[in-house]
């Protein structure tokens, strides 16, 4: 197991920090005494978040799809603070609709943000973290959807499943190199956010529109507040866990049923979101 990561007085980098899960992580980390590098593609909410936090904060407008931009993020983090203890590769978007109707540009954007954004973070930060030779942890945000493919959100399911595979591979690579850098896979269940308000979602199809409304209702009624969610995440970080599953009730029963489908060679089931 990698060494204990410094929380109080440590430095955290968070992508997708301006809203949802990223915002909750930033607020919790600030209260825990961390200095922050906050990255998002949206400048105004990013600056607004920084203004409310009672900690030293660096904000950097970053498009995680762009490898050069993420390299610049890493450069600026080290130039300002001289170290990074926690990296949250967290930026993510949603695209809904039937898989064959979703335009190529929305498919491309989903994969670039949700998967390439994580990969770009790994490529930019891992060499620097290895060179630093001190305990650190990378937390990649996937989703319960990375284990439980869903209709009408195939780009999200596909990209998040890829994040799961990449993160497991990265963990094993770090084991080969001696565990200096801890790796965690974060799989959120319902968290209150505006992810289903993404303007790249096409909701003109009645089935897609109904699905989106169901998901929005689920997030409103059953979703955790981002800061409550973040508290659970940091608990698992301090415990050094690879699998960070803050809402096991949203994953475990359905995942067991899915695994049984594979072993029994039965057809995949349509998920019942009331189970979440």
Q: How far apart are CA 235 and CA 32, in angstroms?
A: 12
Whether the per-residue pLDDT at 275 is higher than 70: the answer is no
126: part of which helix (H) or strand (E)? Answer: helix 117-132
Question: Exactly one of 115, 156, 211, 234 is catalytic; which is it?
Answer: 156
Beta strand 136-141 with 35-40: parallel, antiparallel or unpaired? unpaired
The mean per-residue pLDDT over the stretch 104-120 comes to 97
Q: In what order do the strands lie in the sheet with 86-89?
A: 57-61, 35-40, 11-15, 86-89, 136-141, 181-186, 243-244
pLDDT digit string (tens) for 166-189? 999 999 999 999 878 999 999 999
How confident is the model over 42-69, as pLDDT tens digits?
999 999 999 999 999 999 999 999 999 9
Tens digit of pLDDT for each residue in 214-225?
A: 777 777 777 788
Q: Give CA separation, 215 vs 104, 203, 226, 257, in Å.
A: 23, 12, 17, 21
- The per-residue pLDDT for 90 is 97
Contacts of 243 (CB under 8 A, 6+ apart): 184, 185, 187
The answer to whether the CB of 250 falls within 8 A of the CB of 189 is yes
Contact 135, 6 (CB under 8 A): yes
End-to-end CA, the chain? 32
pLDDT at 276 over 60: no
Q: How far apart are CA 168 and CA 122, in angstroms?
A: 13
* 122, HSE (Cβ side, Cα atoms, 13 Å): 20
- Looking at the predicted structure, is the pLDDT value of residue 2 above 70? no
DSSP 273: G
Average pLDDT, whole number, for the chain? 91
138-142, 143-147, 159-163, 207-211: segment of lowest average pLDDT? 207-211
Structure tokens that stand for 19 in this block:
């809203």
**Number of C-alpha atoms within 13 angstroms, CB side, residue 183?**
25
- Asked about 156 being catalytic, the answer comes back as yes
CA angle 64-164-263, nearest 5°? Answer: 155
Task: Please say if the pLDDT value at position 240 is more than 80.
Answer: yes
pLDDT of residue 246: 96
- Phi-psi domain of 265 (left: phi exceeds 0; alpha: psi -120 through 50; beta: other): left
pLDDT at 3 over 90: no
């Amino acid at each position: 197991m990698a060494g204990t990561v410094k929380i109080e007085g440590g430095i955290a980098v968070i992508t997708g920090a301006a809203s949802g899960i990223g915002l909750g992580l930033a607020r919790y980390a600030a209260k825990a005494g961390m200095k922050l590098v906050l990255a998002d593609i949206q400048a105004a909410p990013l600056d607004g978040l920084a203004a409310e936090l009672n900690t030293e904060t660096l904000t950097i407008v970053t498009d995680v799809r762009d490898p050069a931009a993420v390299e610049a993020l890493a450069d600026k983090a080290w130039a300002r603070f001289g170290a990074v203890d926690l990296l949250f590769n967290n930026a993510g978007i949603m695209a809904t609709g039937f898989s064959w109707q979703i335009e190529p540009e929305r498919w491309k954007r989903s994969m670039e943000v949700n998967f390439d954004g994580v990969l770009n973070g790994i490529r930019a930060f891992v060499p620097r973290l290895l060179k630093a030779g001190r305990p650190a942890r990378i937390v990649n945000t996937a989703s319960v959807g990375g284990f439980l493919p869903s209709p009408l959100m195939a780009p999200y399911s596909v990209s998040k499943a890829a994040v799961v595979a990449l993160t497991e591979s990265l963990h094993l690579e770090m084991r080969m190199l001696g565990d200096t850098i801890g790796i965690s896979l974060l799989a959120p269940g319902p968290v209150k956010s505006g992810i289903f308000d993404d303007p790249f979602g096409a909701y003109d199809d009645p089935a897609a529109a109904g699905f989106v409304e169901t998901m929005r209702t689920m997030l409103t009624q059953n979703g955790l507040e981002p800061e409550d969610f973040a508290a659970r995440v940091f608990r698992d970080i301090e415990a050094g866990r690879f699998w960070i599953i803050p809402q096991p009730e949203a994953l475990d029963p359905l995942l067991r049923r899915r695994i049984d489908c594979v072993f029994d060679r039965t057809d995949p089931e349509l998920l019942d979101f009331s189970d979440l």
